[in-house]
Amino acid sequence: QSALTQPASVSGSPGQSITISCTGTSSDVGTYNLVSWYQQHPGKAPKLRIYEGSKRPSGVSNRFSGSKSGNTASLTISGLQAEDEADYYCCSYAGSSLWVFGGGTKVTVL
């Protein structure tokens, strides 16, 4: 069970769209549609943004969207805003009731 692979950093200008990838294997992301995404501001606890790959919890902006292709899940933030600057983590089911997080991506709003 290895950590999912995310880019260390992604940046974009206000109003633009960015996409964060989360690459796993056929033992986790590729087989199960149980990928969740979390946003974490400095010094704060993570907050859920997407679950089951593409579903948004109540109250989460529709600027956040998720998708999956093969062994890679993606989080897209559209209409980038200053408040979106944070760290983002993916998490996937890995079988046998086990879970694995990604290495995290720092999003910078230019």
Contact positions vs other proteins (CB under 8 A): 1, 3, 32, 34, 36, 38, 40, 45-48, 51-52, 55, 57, 89, 91, 93, 96-104
For residues 24 and 69, the answer to whether their CB atoms sit within 8 Å is no
Q: What letters, b where the CB count within 10 A reaches 16 and e where it falls short, cover 16-48? A: eebebbbbbbebbbbebebbbbbbeeeeeebee
Nearer residue to other proteins within complex by CB, 1 or 17: 1
Minimum Å gap between C-beta 97 and other proteins is 4
Amino acid of residue 56: R
Minimum Å gap between C-beta 54 and other proteins is 12
Nearer residue to other proteins within complex by CB, 3 or 17: 3
